[in-house]
């Protein structure tokens, strides 16, 4: 059994809430976003003989996926210790075992506890993560695409980039839907039945848990997640640049879908449904949404969304870099 379970998602899908919940049991822990497992070339580090911590990102909105060095302290290590763990590991499984051991000891969890590593961009590397370790597991969290779209627009994504990002993540989830070591959970289930969702994920991960009283007690008093995830992000200006960004305290669950979507956003989303994304290897997106329980009506009279010049330049730059590196 792998000691680390990856969590991947589209941004604004509820992965932070999921991390809070999974960090609230005696047999599991989840630290701040590490980023390392979202780096594709990291998985060839042992073949290259060096720890690779940055690579071109498959995520539409990023140029690079890379290690968040500033978040290592949340795991009780620094870059030197991370490199030490790598040098003393023969493969990915040994690395994840030893990395988890450091973190679990820091958090005073049970000796058989599992580490969950939540970085949204992990969704791009779940397949290779599972290929490199036959005991590994991964969790993908999905949310109503319309609410993700609204959230991304409020975080200054352009309409085209927001919609492409959603489509990209849902396509990956659809491709992995039948994988026996991938569990897909929905944000809507997470907020309606949080303990049941955690129980399901832990059972899937190989560590059954049924102590609801302890879970709620730990969840409501989880200061680690507040200081090492939310507040840290704002202090380091990773997320503070997003408009309307607020630091929410841990220990509460609020359904972020419980709001009215502006008509303007609905119209832009409908335009997205009319956009041809086949050159991004995405087809029958409406069918994919429907498969996961999210159904939308197309408005054929609306014009499709188009990338801006800046976005076209980003896509081209990524293509060129992949050829050069």
Residue 229 has a pLDDT of: 73
Which of the four pLDDT bands, split at 50, 70 and 90, describes residue 213? very high
Q: Is the pLDDT of residue 188 over 80?
A: yes
Residue 16: count other Cβ atoms within 10 Å of its Cβ.
Answer: 21
pLDDT tens column, 242-264 = 444 454 567 889 999 999 999 99
Q: Count Cβ atoms within 10 A of the Cβ of residue 65 and give its class: 0-12 exposed, 13-18 middle, 19 or more buried.
A: buried
Contacts for 4 with CB less than 8 Å, ≥ 6 apart: 37, 96, 99, 100, 114, 115, 116, 117, 136
Residue 232 has a pLDDT of: 62
Q: Residue written as tokens 């996961």?
A: 292
CATH at residue 135: 3.40.50
Residue 252 has a pLDDT of: 85
Q: What is the largest CA-CA distance in the chain?
A: 60
**Six-digit token pair at 116?**
């969950």
Least confident of 44-53, 102-111, 202-211, 242-251: 242-251
pLDDT tens column, 41-68 = 999 999 999 999 999 999 999 999 999 9
Which of the four pLDDT bands, split at 50, 70 and 90, describes residue 228? confident
Residue 299 has a pLDDT of: 83
**Six-digit token pair at 193?**
């039945």
Please report, rounded to a whole number, the percentage of residues in the chain having pLDDT higher than 70.
94
Q: Is the pLDDT of residue 147 over 60?
A: yes
Q: Is the pLDDT of residue 231 over 80?
A: no
DSSP state of 25: B
Nearest Cα residue to 64 out of 74, 73, 52, 75: 52
Q: Is the pLDDT of residue 184 over 60?
A: yes
Residue range(s) defining the domain that contains residue 305: 4-324
Beta-bridge mates of residue 109: none
Instruction: Round the average pLDDT of the chain to a whole number and report it.
Output: 93
Q: Count Cβ atoms within 10 A of the Cβ of residue 26 and give its class: 0-12 exposed, 13-18 middle, 19 or more buried.
A: middle
**Six-digit token pair at 295?**
């159904």
DSSP state of 289: H
Contacts for 148 with CB less than 8 Å, ≥ 6 apart: 10, 11, 12, 13, 162, 166
Buried b (16+ CB within 10 A) or exposed e, 211-250: eeeebeebbeebebbbebbbebbeeeeeeeebeeeeeeeb
The half-sphere exposure of 325 on its side-chain side, counting CA atoms within 13 A, is: 14
Total count of domains within the chain: 1
Residue 255: count other Cβ atoms within 10 Å of its Cβ.
Answer: 13
Cα(170)–Cα(189) distance, integer angstroms: 17
Q: Checking DSSP bridges between strand 4-9 and strand 114-118, what pairing results, if any?
A: parallel
Contacts for 173 with CB less than 8 Å, ≥ 6 apart: 123, 140, 142, 184, 292
Tell me if the pTM is above 0.85: yes
176 close to 127: Cβ distance less than 8 angstroms: yes
Residue 244 has a pLDDT of: 46
Q: Is the pLDDT of residue 7 over 70?
A: yes
**Six-digit token pair at 162?**
């927001």
């Amino acid at each position: 059994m792998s000691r680390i379970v990856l969590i991947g998602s589209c941004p604004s899908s509820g992965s932070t809430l999921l991390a809070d919940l999974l960090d609230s049991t005696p047999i599991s822990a989840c630290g701040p976003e590490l980023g390392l497992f979202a780096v594709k070339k990291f998985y060839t580090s042992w073949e290259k003989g060096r720890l690779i911590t940055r690579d071109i990102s498959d995520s539409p909105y990023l140029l690079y996926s890379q290690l968040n060095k500033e978040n290592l302290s949340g795991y009780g290590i620094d870059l030197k210790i991370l490199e030490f763990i790598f040098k003393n590991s023969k493969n990915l499984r040994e690395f994840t075992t030893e990395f988890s051991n450091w973190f679990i000891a820091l958090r005073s969890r049970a000796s058989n506890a599992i580490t969950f590593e939540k970085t949204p961009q992990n969704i791009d590397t779940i397949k290779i993560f599972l290929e490199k370790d036959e005991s590994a597991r991964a969790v993908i969290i999905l949310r109503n695409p319309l609410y993700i779209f609204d959230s991304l627009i409020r975080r200054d994504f352009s309409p085209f980039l927001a919609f492409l990002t959603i489509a990209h993540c849902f396509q990956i989830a659809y491709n992995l839907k039948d994988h026996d070591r991938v569990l897909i959970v929905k944000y809507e289930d997470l907020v309606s039945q949080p303990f049941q969702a955690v129980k399901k994920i832990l059972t899937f991960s190989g560590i059954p848990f049924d102590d609801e009283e302890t879970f709620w007690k730990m969840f409501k008093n989880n200061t680690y997640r507040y200081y090492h995830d939310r507040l840290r992000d704002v202090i380091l200006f990773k997320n503070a640049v997003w408009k309307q960004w607020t630091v929410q305290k841990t220990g509460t669950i609020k359904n972020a879908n419980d709001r009215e979507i502006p008509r303007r956003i609905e119209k832009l989303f409908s335009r997205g449904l009319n956009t041809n994304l086949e050159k991004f290897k995405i087809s029958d997106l409406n069918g994919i949404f429907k498969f996961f329980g999210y159904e939308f009506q197309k408005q054929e009279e609306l014009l499709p969304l188009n990338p801006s010049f800046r976005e076209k330049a980003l896509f081209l730059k990524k293509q060129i870099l992949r050829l050069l590196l």
